[in-house]
Amino acid sequence: MPTRRQPAQSATTNADPKAAPNARAAGGRRASAKPDVRGVGPRGRISADDPRVTLEQEIGSDLYEPIPPFPIKTEREGEFYSLRDGEIFLNIGPHHPATHGVLRLVLKLSGEQIVDVDPVIGYLHRGVEKICENSDYYHVIDQVDPLEYLSSLFQEWPAVMAFEKLMDVEVPRRAEYIRVLTGELLRISSHTLYMGFMALDLGGLTPILYSFIERDEIVEMLASITGARMLFNYYRIGGVNGDLNHEFMSRLGDWMSRAGKQAEAITALLNENEIFLRRMRDVGTMDRATALRYGVTGANIRACGVPFDLRRAHPYSVYPEIDFNIPTREEGDSLARYLMRVDEIKESIRIIDQCLHQMPDGPIMAKLPRLLRPRPGRAWAAVEAPRGSLGVYAMSDGTDQPFRFRIHDPSFMHLGVVPHMLPGNLLADTMAIVSSLDPVMGGVDR
């Protein structure tokens, strides 16, 4: 989208959806007369989206119509931004109670029914990947930390893994076990929070507060070794920053003694609730082929019956030494995606239990120089984050800064399926579908 808009020639009310792109393509100049008044289109439309609309101008009833990105670049855009009889646009977001951050969904509605949807992202874009290319290897961890803000350890993990591959660093086994242990704890925290927000988006007020109890216990636990509750900044290239301590172990033991029961209590409020089940069942069904084509990963693809889990498919860290199941479900609807998280919590508790039993003694950091200068090369590392496979591609040119740094975020891939799942559903299903995919906008926009 160009930063500075031309005088608004809106295709919103064009009868022929293809007129605008064609006119643009034909001569490079618009056929319609150039409007005199700034901000007023050829049909007298004024839009608040136009930066040159001033307060003195009289505002018509079209004020809140979204105008398309101008000039219209694709046929799809032209088709979307033309309304048929009885249809309206509804702009959900970027600030809306149910969009989990700054996701903007431009819905085309016919009554309550969704006809079409255009997800707009980028409201949280800060160019983190570029910032990472300008900071040295140690500082990359701080930069990527806040992207996946609900489970920030998982954002650090692939980054440090990629750098370890670049530098051929052998990570001590104890450090790997600590990574798995803390990661799985955070996975539970993230999934519990997901269940609460799922209920909140469907109108249930209480489960979110029960979720936060669980999350609070876990982040307090992690705070005792990392010093932070949300952005931990804990994994290091070649190990972790700080060993497990007494406070962590006592909190963990305390929590483990009731973890299973507590998760049950949270879900009991929802899983046996007929209203909740009816809102979730057969809503936003994603079939296997679509899921595979769009690169859906994590719990969302396992809910479609594909047992794909990076911890098994491309084993990393110490996961080969740990025994756990990969739960799958066949339905592929919102309820299946929700129940997948419930199942994964149980598996994570098992993994934590095994970690505690198998954890060896030893160092937690590899010996590394102060200034990291890996040989030129490239590395790809991916982990199974709570939202799916989270990957990092790093390229070194021999200096102390990564030459290229790219993040593959699962939430971004999942949002791509939203336009295919929403049409035909009702407005209220938007929340059941988008929330069940569990996007985190920090990771999407980067």
Partner 1 sequence: MTALMRTMETVRGRVAAAVRSYAWDHLTLAERVVYLAGPVLLLGLGFAAVFGYWAGGPVVDFVAGRLGIVRFFVSVTAILLLTVPTAFVIIYMELKVIARMNLRVGPNRVGPFGAVMSVIHGLKVLSKEDFAPTGVDLGVFTLAPLITFLASVMTLLVVPFAPALVGQDLNIGLLYFFALGGLTVVGLLMAGWASFNKYSLLGGLRSAAQIVSYEIPLTLSVVGVIILAGTMSLNHIVAAQSGSALDWFVFKQPLAALIFFIAATAEANRTPFDMTEADSEIVAGFATEYSGMRFGFFFFAEYVNVFIVSALTATLFFGGWTAPFDSPVHVNLNWFDPFSISAPVWGAIVLSVLWFGTLFLALVVRLLGGRSWGVIDSLALGGLLLVLGLAGLIGLAAFISIDWIRDLSWFMAKTYVFVFTFVWMRATLPRVRIDQLMGFAWKWLLPASLLNLFVTATAVVLLNR
* Window 179 to 238, contacts with partner 1 (CB under 8 A): 199-206, 209-210, 213
- Among 18, 30, 76, 96, the residue binding partner 1 under the rule CB under 8 A is 96
Name which position in 6, 38, 73, 112 contacts partner 1 (CB under 8 A). 112
> What is the SS3 assignment for 126-178?
CCHHHHHHCCCHHHHHHHHCCCCCCCHHHHHHHHHHHHHHHHCCCCCHHHHHH
Q: How far is the CB of 283 from partner 1 (least distance, A)?
A: 9
Cβ 375 vs Cβ 141: under 8 Å: no
* Cβ 210 to partner 1 shortest distance, Å: 7
Residue 36, CA distances (Å) to 20, 199, 266, 269 in order? 20, 51, 61, 60
CA dihedral (429, 277, 209, 230) positive or negative: negative
Least distance in angstroms from the C-beta of 198 to partner 1: 9
Q: How far is the CB of 353 from partner 1 (least distance, A)?
A: 27
Residue 269 or residue 368: which is nearer to partner 1 going by CB? 269
Of the pair 49, 156, the CB lying nearest partner 1 is at: 49
- According to CB under 8 A, which one of 70, 276, 319, 405 is a site residue for partner 1? 276
CA distance 134 to 404: 10
Name the DSSP class of 319. Answer: G
Q: Which of 90, 249, 292, 349 binds partner 1 (CB under 8 A)?
A: 90
Q: Which of residues 380-399 bind partner 1 (CB under 8 A)?
A: none
Would you count residue 268 as binding partner 1 (CB under 8 A)? no
Instruction: For the chain, state the CA radius of gyration.
Output: 24
Q: How far is the CB of 212 from partner 1 (least distance, A)?
A: 9
- Least Å distance, CB 12 to partner 1, is 14
| Residue 217 near residue 195, CB atoms below 8 Å | no
Closest approach of partner 1 to the CB of residue 152, in Å: 26
Rounded Cα distance, 434 and 310, in Å: 23
Task: Give min distance, CB of 65 to partner 1, in A.
Answer: 10
Rounded to 10 deg, the angle between the 429-437 and 334-358 helix axes is: 20
Nearest Cα residue to 211 out of 234, 239, 190: 190
269 binds partner 1, rule: CB under 8 A: yes
Strands (E), 234-305: 235-236, 239-240
Any residues with CB less than 8 A from the CB of 209 and at least 6 apart, and which?
196
| Distance of alpha carbon 309 from alpha carbon 301, whole angstroms | 9
Residue 91's alpha-carbon distances to 63, 64, 184, 441, in angstroms, are 12, 9, 37, 17
- If the CB atoms of residues 409 and 438 are measured against partner 1, the closer one turns out to be 438
269 vs 349, beta carbon nearer partner 1? 269
Q: Which is nearer to partner 1, 120 or 326 (CB)?
A: 120
Is residue 242 within the footprint of partner 1 (CB under 8 A)? no
Residue 60 or 360 having the CB closest to partner 1: 60
Quick one: 106 or 299, whose CB is closer to partner 1? 106
Residue 201 C-beta: closest distance to partner 1, Å: 5
Q: Which amino acid is at 419?
A: P
Of 279, 302, 311, 329, the residue at the interface with partner 1 (CB under 8 A) is 279
Q: Which of 12, 401, 7, 377 is nearest to 167 (CA)?
A: 377
- State yes or no: residue 278 binds partner 1 (CB under 8 A): yes
Q: Is 54 in the site for partner 1 (CB under 8 A)?
A: no
User: Where on the chain is the footprint of partner 1 (CB under 8 A)?
Assistant: 59, 61, 63-64, 88-91, 96-98, 112, 199-206, 209-210, 213, 269-270, 273, 275-276, 278-279, 426-431
